[in-house]
Chains A and B, each alone.
Chain A
Amino acid sequence: MSDDTPKKALSATRRQVLAGFSALPFMGMLGGKVNAADYPTAEVNTTGLAVTDDKVTVGILHSVTGTMAISETGSVQAEKLAIKQINEAGGVLGRQIDFIQEDGASDWPTFAEKAKKLLVQDKVASVMGCWTSASRKAVLPVFEQYNGMLYYPTFYEGLEQSPNVIYTGQEATQQIIAGIDWVVQNKGAKSFYLLGSDYIWPRTSNKIARKHIEKLGLKVSGEEYYPLGHTQFNSVINKIKLTKPDVIYAIVVGGSNVAFYKQLKAAGIDMTKEKPLLLTISVTEDEILGIGGENIVGAYACMKYFQSLPNDNNAEFVKAFKEMWGDEIVIGDVTQAAYLGPWLWKMAVEKAGSFDIDKVRAASPGIEFAKAPEGYVRIHENHHLWSKTRVGHALNDGQYEVVFETADLVQPDPFPAGYQ
Chain B
Amino acid sequence: MIGDYTLLEFSSILAMQGFAGLILFSVFVLMALGLAIIFGQMGVINMAHGEFMILGAYVTWLCSGLVTAYAPALFPAYFFIAMALAFIVTGALGILVEWAMIRHLYRRPLDTLLATWGLSLILQQLYRSVFGAREVGVSLPDWMMGSFALTDIIEVPINGIFVMALTMLISLAVFLLMFRSRWGKQVRAVVQNRAMAGAVGINTKKVDRLTFGLGCGVAGVAGSAFTMIGSTGPTAGQLYIVDTFLVVVFGGAASLLGTIASAFTISQAQSTMEFFMSGSMAKVLTLLTVVGILMLRPEGLFTLKMRR
The CA of A242 and the CA of B14, in the complex, are separated in Å by 10
Residues in A whose Cβ lies below 8 Å from that of B139:
292, 294
29 A–B contact pairs at CB < 8 A? Answer: A64-B133, A69-B133, A70-B134, A70-B234, A73-B133, A198-B280, A225-B278, A225-B280, A227-B283, A234-B24, A235-B271, A235-B279, A238-B13, A239-B275, A241-B153, A242-B13, A255-B231, A255-B235, A256-B231, A256-B239, A258-B231, A262-B229, A266-B147, A266-B228, A266-B229, A286-B134, A289-B135, A289-B137, A294-B145
> Which residues between 71 and 90 of chain B lie within 8 Å of chain A, taking CB atoms?
none
Which residue of chain B has its CB nearest to the CB of A74? B134
Q: Which 3 A-B residue pairings sit nearest by Cβ, starting from the closest?
A: A290-B135, A258-B231, A234-B20
Task: Indicate whether A15 reaches chain B with its CB closer than 8 angstroms.
Answer: no
The CA of A410 and the CA of B279, in the complex, are separated in Å by 34
Which residue of chain A has its CB nearest to the CB of B125? A65
| Interface residues in B, total, Cβ within 8 A | 51
Choice from B24, B160, B233 contacting A266 with Cβ under 8 Å: B160
Residues in A whose Cβ lies below 8 Å from that of B234:
69-70
The CA of A177 and the CA of B191, in the complex, are separated in Å by 62
> Which residues between 244 and 284 of chain A lie within 8 Å of chain B, taking CB atoms?
255-259, 262-263, 265-268
Task: Decide: B146 and A268 in contact? CB cutoff 8 A.
Answer: yes
Task: Indicate whether B143 reaches chain A with its CB closer than 8 angstroms.
Answer: no
Task: Indicate whether B128 reaches chain A with its CB closer than 8 angstroms.
Answer: yes
Residues in B whose Cβ lies below 8 Å from that of A65:
125, 128
The CA of A256 and the CA of B238, in the complex, are separated in Å by 12
Residues in A whose Cβ lies below 8 Å from that of B146:
265-266, 268
Which residue of chain A has its CB nearest to the CB of B162? A266
Task: Indicate whether A112 reaches chain B with its CB closer than 8 angstroms.
Answer: no
Task: Decide: B231 and A227 in contact? CB cutoff 8 A.
Answer: no
Chain A nearest CB, measured from B126 CB (Å)? 12
Chain A nearest CB, measured from B266 CB (Å)? 11
Residues in A whose Cβ lies below 8 Å from that of B231:
231, 255-259, 290-291
Task: Indicate whether B16 reaches chain A with its CB closer than 8 angstroms.
Answer: yes
Task: Indicate whether A67 reaches chain B with its CB closer than 8 angstroms.
Answer: yes
Task: Indicate whether A66 reaches chain B with its CB closer than 8 angstroms.
Answer: yes
Chain B nearest CB, measured from A366 CB (Å)? 36
The CA of A265 and the CA of B226, in the complex, are separated in Å by 15
Report whether over half of chain A's contact residues are helix, strand or loop; otherwise say mixed: helix
Task: Decide: B147 and A267 in contact? CB cutoff 8 A.
Answer: yes
The CA of A292 and the CA of B65, in the complex, are separated in Å by 13
Query: Given known contacts A225-B278, A263-B157, what 14 new A-B pairs fall within 8 Å (CB)?
Result: A67-B235, A69-B133, A73-B134, A198-B280, A224-B279, A231-B230, A234-B157, A235-B279, A237-B20, A259-B229, A266-B158, A268-B147, A290-B232, A292-B138
Task: Indicate whether B159 reaches chain A with its CB closer than 8 angstroms.
Answer: yes
Task: Decide: A241 and B16 in contact? CB cutoff 8 A.
Answer: yes
| Interface residues in A, total, Cβ within 8 A | 46
Task: Decide: B134 and A268 in contact? CB cutoff 8 A.
Answer: no
Which residue of chain A has its CB nearest to the CB of B147? A268
Which residue of chain A has its CB nearest to the CB of B142? A294
Residues in A whose Cβ lies below 8 Å from that of B283:
226-227, 230
Task: Decide: B16 and A238 in contact? CB cutoff 8 A.
Answer: yes
Task: Decide: A230 and B279 in contact? CB cutoff 8 A.
Answer: yes
Residues in A whose Cβ lies below 8 Å from that of B153:
241
Task: Decide: A268 and B238 in contact? CB cutoff 8 A.
Answer: no
User: How would residues 286 to 315 of chain A score, 1 for a CB under 8 Å from any chain B CB and 0 otherwise?
Assistant: 111111111100000000000000000000
Task: Decide: A70 and B17 in contact? CB cutoff 8 A.
Answer: no
Task: Decide: A231 and B238 in contact? CB cutoff 8 A.
Answer: no
Residues in B whose Cβ lies below 8 Å from that of A263:
157, 229
Residues in A whose Cβ lies below 8 Å from that of B137:
258, 288-293, 295
Residues in A whose Cβ lies below 8 Å from that of B236:
255
Task: Decide: A255 and B5 in contact? CB cutoff 8 A.
Answer: no
Residues in B whose Cβ lies below 8 Å from that of A292:
137-139
Task: Indicate whether A141 reaches chain B with its CB closer than 8 angstroms.
Answer: no
> Which residues between 64 and 83 of chain A lie within 8 Å of chain B, taking CB atoms?
64-67, 69-70, 73
